[in-house]
Amino acid sequence: MSATETGADAQLPPEAARPGLTPLQRLRAILGGSAGNLVEWYDWFAYSAFAIYFAKIFFPEGDQTAQYMKTAVVFAVGFGARPLGAWLMGMYADKAGRKAALTLSVAMMCVGSLIIALTPGHAQIGEAAAYILVIARLLQGLSVGGEYGASATYMSEMAGKARRGFWSSFQYVTLIMGQLMAALVLVVLQQTMDKADLAAWGWRIPFFIGAGLAVVVFWMRRSMEESASFEAAKAEGLPRGRTMLLFLKFPKETLAIMGLTAAGSLGFYAYTTYMLKFLENTAGFSKEAAGAINLATLVVFMLIQPLFGWLSDRLGRKRMLVIAFGGGALASVPVFSLIAASGGNPFAAFGLILAALTVQSAYTSISAVVKAELFPAHVRALGVALPYAIGNAAFGGTAEMVALWFKQQGMESGFYWYVAAVMVVALGISALLRDTQKTSLIKED
């Protein structure tokens, strides 16, 4: 493979060269890239957090598990749109720039949130309510599918070689912070609103909040600085964002990202979004207690991401991946089993979930940078976004649906073993993957 194809040895053209960023400039770029990421993921997770209230609004038929199952199917449908969004936005980010893609994605999320906030329930418009909900989630799926690749690429390119693991970990900090905000809004509304009002109309509030925040970030992103890596690739005139180029020139990297994402996303959604329902529907916690436990674990999970990112700068990316997926394979069955048998003890549930998420942090903290370091700049956004979205949709988006299916079949523990099996596959991929810290194709510092 030639230097022109990979971009690995290309020299920066004079018109694309820039002086190194100061720490303050780098921090400003990271914050600018991550602010929209926070809002995107807040809006995305608000659906899962408040599904326990609006499930019967859109799907009144059946018992509670059946209603949850239907909202989980819609959740999975949104994930199904993410590969398409990743493909379209990845090509757009490689051709028009990271900034343009990030601005468009947050605008799409704003529209999707407003649709959910304003859509009448089944009692008012019948089955049309469910169809509109699906349309809104498809739009949000397109948005988030593009957001992840563009923001992961932008933040990794702006992070700098010496501390790339540390700085790029904030991509997942803001992802978790978005979920944390959704969980916090849930707890606040549970504590301040009458239960009947919250179930009737209060669940719409978080979607109005998300739409408003998206408008603010839209204007913030319009003034963001473009990355030097994109400018260099643009000046070189390399073929950018071509799908066949990605699969023909980088098949191993593409498949590796799919496998790592499959396990990482499955573990993440199993221990965060699905855990809300698992605590209530299996472990016997109240909605309020489940929300509080989820909130507490997310706070710690978010705070430790930079620590694990920093460790990857010293220990290497490959070693962290082996720790994440080896530990995840060993932990999943005992963690779920012990929570189910905890007898409603909130401290036991908190400790078990946090232990699983701590192991996950060895992957989540570096998920963006590992992917970005595998590709040259002219296909990087597409290379990060598309295989990630495919793996995420197939395993992360279906996590709740698969878990609830196992429960409906009376063999809930099958889901625990399913998680462990996918982790084992990712462990094998990690063992074969090169250490991207040493072989990174991000050449601009």
- Name the percent of the chain lying above pLDDT 70: 92
**pTM for the complete prediction?**
0.79
Cα gap 249→373, rounded to integer Å: 15
19-437: CATH topology is Growth Hormone; Chain: A; (1.20.1250)
CB-based contact 173:37 (threshold 8 Å)? no
Q: Express each pLDDT in 368-410 by its tens digit.
A: 899 999 998 888 888 888 898 889 888 988 898 899 999 999 9
Can you give the length of the chain in residues?
A: 445
Angle (CA) 291 184 178, round 5°: 110
Cα gap 144→85, rounded to integer Å: 7
Q: How far is CA 129 from the centre of its chain?
A: 27
Identify the pLDDT of residue 97.
81
State the CB neighbour count (10 A cutoff) for residue 432. Answer: 10
| Domain ranges across the chain | 19-437
Cα gap 77→196, rounded to integer Å: 29
* Cβ-proximal residues to 406 (8 Å cutoff; 6+ apart), any chain: 412, 413, 414, 415, 418
Residue corresponding to tokens 């969980």: 183
Q: Express each pLDDT in 146-202 by its tens digit.
A: 887 788 888 888 777 778 899 889 888 988 888 888 888 988 998 899 989 998 899
Q: Is 15 exposed, middle or buried (0-12, 13-18, 19+ CB in 10 A)?
A: exposed
